[in-house]
Amino acid sequence: MKQDKVIFFDTTLRDGEQCPGASMNLRQKLEVARQLEKLGVDVIEAGFPVASEGDFESVSTIARTVKKCRVAGLARCTEKDIRKAAAAVAPAGDRARIHVFLATSPLHREFKLKMSKKEVVAAAVAGVKLAKSLVDDVEFSAEDASRTELDFLAQVVEAVIDAGATTVNLPDTVGFTTPGEYAAMIAYMKKHVRNIGKCILSVHCHNDIGLAVANTLSAVQAGARQVEGTINGIGERAGNVALEEVAMALTTRPEALGFKKGDKPHNLDTREIVRTSRVVSRMSGMVVQRSKAIVGENAFAHSSGIHQHGILAKRETYEVIDPADVGWGVTELPLTKHSGRAAVKARLERLGHTLSEEELTHLFERFKKVGDSKKFVYDDDLASLVNDSLDTHNSVWKMCQIQFLAGSATCPTATVTLERDGKKFTDSAIGNGPVNACFKAIDRITRSKGDLVEFNVHATSCGQDALGEVTVKVKFTGKADQRPISGKGAATDIIEAASRAYLNALNRHLALSKAQA
């Protein structure tokens, strides 16, 4: 199958969401999917439909909403998984993809699957055949391919292509391979698999030893034409390959990576990269490291005098990418409390958020309150209110009011009022600080118990009246799995922001418990 451009397969909503603390609700996943579509990814892997009713609903809603990208649902090689995935991606019509996977490495065969080589080939072929009877576009992944015997891997690849797979993915599941080794694996498949021309070879790299981007690019040089990864590199353990880094490597150095100078080897609109990174960070609660390539706040900040002088004389002296090409520096006049609903809506759309009228009403109320307490509402302020509003709008518990008393000679005390189903509940607690007192008061009202495992605060804009944005990770005791749940909250007062973040995490926990029940 001839494919000149590299297909971008985004798995932020599946592999990325497996990252501890990154779980998103349906509304948040939809925001991410819409922005991925604006970025121009070719395939969105929207989830693992058999995993839960919530996953199924997310995949089918995304399949219904997204109009340009292919939508994939993951499935193990079992009839139940494959039929569930087919039903979930069906609303995408001829853009529906089923992604079946089965491990092939000796370790997985012996200890996880307890299957012989022959059984693995048979199960893979049966899975692909069933998927092919339900959709045209079938991808097969040989999990842990990079630790699989090359001759056996080639046998599996050939068999699944004969069974109907049009994309074959060879993941480095545990982030173990090296660029030379991974490229050699691709070259081996191209040389030894009889029908290799009938499929697109795909790669999927994890970052356990920090080689995910290098491995992905070396596989592309060797002929792989689909890359799988996530925005901001979120994912289990050390994460997946960061797609924005792969995209900008291909854009900046096409000739070094096997393409013609001046070619654009992908379909992405790179000016949407920073916006996409922000949307993913806000929706997933995963903070982007300041020095992260391409999308970190410091990625284009030059502090030394020599660099600043060079940049002023000629940008290319110290910059290999024009920041505007990835969407940095597109700042507009800040909004104020006098800005109207239409202006707020238009600005939100430019920031990558599509809100329903009801959601907008809720956000606009908060915008007005924030506008009363600070002169200018910057884009980052506004974007940080989005998650808060989306979540609050759909959540069980809503924040009404908090009051606290703290100081060096006072016992920190907080009184919190929350609303549930239109009824208000108030309670007070003391704590070792005002934040702790607020969290305890929330626990008392909601009859929950959360252990704070991470707390971060940062100002969304400059100046003393900046909005404080708090991100927390909390472990709640309950039925849902015991992974920490992240929450975000924003307010001009950081204690209020912290309480909103804690409540946001609690509401996510309740939604997750409901989905798993």
Q: Which residues bind ligand KIV (CB under 6 A)?
A: 15, 101, 141, 143, 169, 171, 173, 204, 206
What is the rounded distance in angstroms from the CA atom of residue 235 to the CA atom of residue 174?
12
Span near Zn ion by CB under 5 A; candidates 7-15, 70-78, 85-93, 253-261: 7-15
* Binding flag, residue 469, Zn ion (CB under 5 A): no
45 binds, among ligand KIV, Zn ion, none (CB under 5 to 8 A by kind): none
Instruction: Indicate whether 172 belongs to the interface with Zn ion (CB under 5 A).
Output: no
Token duo for residue 42: 């070719």
- The reply on whether position 55 binds Zn ion by CB under 5 A is no
Half-sphere exposure (Cβ direction) of 110: Cα atoms closer than 13 Å: 4
Whose Cβ is closer to Zn ion: residue 15's or residue 443's?
A: 15
Cβ of residue 444: shortest distance to Zn ion, in angstroms? 41
- State the DSSP code for 92: G
Between 15 and 469, whose beta carbon lies closer to ligand KIV? 15
Residues 471/487, Cβ–Cβ less than 8 Å = yes
List beta partners, residue 485: 474
State the nearest-atom distance from the C-beta of 12 to Zn ion, in Å.
12
Q: Which residues contact 514 (CB under 8 A, 6 or more apart)?
A: none
**Which range binds Zn ion by CB under 5 A, 9-17, 309-317, 363-371, 409-417?**
9-17
State which of residues 6, 9, 10, 15 lies at the interface with Zn ion (CB under 5 A): 15
Q: Of ligand KIV, Zn ion, none, which one sits near residue 461, judging by CB under 5 to 8 A according to partner kind?
A: none
CA distances in angstroms from 91 to 94, 246, 316, listed in the order given: 9, 30, 46
Q: CA 385 → CA 110, 261, 388, 417, distances in Å?
A: 50, 43, 5, 20
Taking CB atoms, the residue at the shortest distance from Zn ion is 15
Separation between Cα atoms, residue 183 and residue 222, nearest integer Å:
5
Contact 102, 136 (CB under 8 A): no
Distance from first CA to last CA of the chain, Å, rounded? 44
Is 10 a binding residue for Zn ion by CB under 5 A? The answer is no
Q: How far is the CB of 139 from ligand KIV (least distance, A)?
A: 9
Whether the Cβ atoms of residue 486 and residue 22 lie closer than 8 Å to each other: yes
In terms of CB distance, is 15 or 139 closer to Zn ion? Answer: 15
101 binds, among Zn ion, ligand KIV, none (CB under 5 to 8 A by kind): ligand KIV
Q: What gap in Å lies between CA 258 and CA 29, rounded to an integer? A: 35
Least spacing, CB of residue 130 vs Zn ion, in Å? 22
From the CB of 231, what's the least distance to Zn ion, in Å?
Answer: 14
State in angstroms the smallest separation of the CB of 145 from ligand KIV. Answer: 8
Residue 212 or 510 with smaller CB distance to ligand KIV: 212
Shortest Å, Cβ 204 to Zn ion: 6
Closer of 169 and 389 to ligand KIV (Cβ): 169
Least distance from ligand KIV to the Cβ atom of residue 173, Å: 4
Closest CA to 265 of 216, 299, 316: 216
The item of ligand KIV, Zn ion, none sharing an interface with residue 141, based on CB under 5 to 8 Å by kind, is ligand KIV
Return the number of the residue (227 or 326) whose C-beta is nearest ligand KIV.
227
Q: Which is nearer to Zn ion, 15 or 244 (CB)?
A: 15
Strand order in the sheet with 468-476: 450-459, 468-476, 485-491
Q: What is the CA radius of gyration of the chain?
A: 24
Closest to ligand KIV by CB, 82 vs 377, is 82
Instruction: Supply 10's token pair.
Output: 């985004």
Question: Tokens 């929950």 identify what position?
Answer: 448
Q: What character string, x for contact with Zn ion (CB under 5 A) and - otherwise, covers 352-371?
A: --------------------
Q: How many CA atoms lie within 13 A of 379 on its CB side?
A: 17
Quote the CA–CA distance of 245 and 36 in Å, as a whole number. Answer: 15
* Residue number, 15 or 359, with CB nearest to Zn ion: 15
Which amino acid, one-letter code, is at 349? E
CB of 141 to ligand KIV, least distance (A): 4
* CB-nearer residue toward Zn ion: 100 or 437: 100
CB 160 → ligand KIV: shortest distance, Å? 13
Helix (H, G, I), strand (E, B) or coil at 329: coil
Nearest-approach distance from CB 171 to Zn ion, in angstroms: 6
**Residue number with CB closer to ligand KIV (101 or 397):** 101
Spell out the alpha helix ranges (H) of 175-300: 179-192, 212-221, 243-252, 273-284
Alpha-carbon span 380 to 364, nearest angstrom: 15
In contact, 248 and 294? CB cutoff 8 Å: yes
- Is 379 a binding residue for Zn ion by CB under 5 A? The answer is no
Positions that interact with Zn ion (CB under 5 A): 15
